Amino acid sequence: MEYWIKVEPDVNVYVNDINPLGRKTILFIHGWPANHKMFEYQYNYLMPLGYRCIGMDMRGFGNSDKPLGGYDYNRLADDIRCVIEALGLRDITLGGHSTGGAVTIRYMARHNGYGVSKLALFASAAPSLIQRPGFPYGSTQETVEQIIKATYRDRPKMLRDFGELFFYQKVSQPFSDWFFQLGLQAASWSTIAVSKAWLAEELFYDLAKVQVPTLILHGIHDQVCLYPLAVAQHQGIRNSVLVPFENSGHGLFYDEREKFNRELSRFVG
């Protein structure tokens, strides 16, 4: 079932509620610059096992409205709250990839984990995507600024270049083309705005506010959200388990999809 859920008076986000009669619910929050379709290979595994999979397109991406503003983590977390309330979700697993993972952490801290009983982080951009004083483990600020400049200059080329960093395992050209199209579905301004948010957003204090069991899945070859970020998440979230993916990059949901799906379904229960 497809919904457009109002999150602000003039902003609606797209939600695809797959297998709504499933026994346990997982709400997926995608990473930049894709949309909920990136989890196709999870949906196809989890649905036959009886799980309800809900894919949400963050504002500015996929089929959601694309306003000029509202791309800070607080507003994106508030959008998740609107979806959870609108669908009456309770006792769910909230899962997020990359920037989506960072936003789910902010949601848990800002909304006290409303409706969520378990959290799953996939190559999450937390506690900071970039290096900061006392935290030398992220990407450089210059790297992010180059992404922003490239998006202004030639967004399709930026997306192609980013896609080449994304996966550790070789993907087919048709798959690469499909993944590229997911990024093109976003608005250019939302693509830029979220990139700028990486420079401002920190989640060091948010980690300690996560009070539910948390699964951390992260590829050791990740060139976008470096593996030490996962270690910092594990150290900061009290009730967490870290599972390294030895043959994955940033796209571990496809690089090692069998292992990914197995670990996620075991965690959800």
Annotated active-site positions, please?
98, 222, 250
Cis? peptide before 133, omega within 30° of 0: no
CA dist 105 and 126 (Å) reads 8
What three-state secondary structure class fits 258?
helix
How far is CA 224 from each of CA 76, 125, 129, 247, rounded to the nearest angstrom? 21, 8, 8, 15
Taking residue 89's Cβ as centre, other Cβ atoms within 10 Å add up to 18
CA pair distance 150, 13, nearest whole angstrom: 27
Q: Rounded distance, CA 214 to CA 105, Å? A: 10
Question: In the sheet that 214-219 helps form, which strands lie side by side, from edge to edge?
Answer: 2-8, 11-18, 51-56, 24-29, 92-97, 116-122, 214-219, 240-245
Residue 135's DSSP bridge partners are 132
Residue spans of beta strands (DSSP E) within 11-162 = 11-18, 24-29, 51-56, 92-97, 116-122
Which amino acid belongs to residue 131?
A: Q
- DSSP 8-state code for residue 139: B
- What is the C-alpha separation between 34 and 89, in angstroms, rounded? 24
Q: How far apart are CA 129 and CA 141, in angstroms?
A: 9
3-class SS at 27?
A: strand
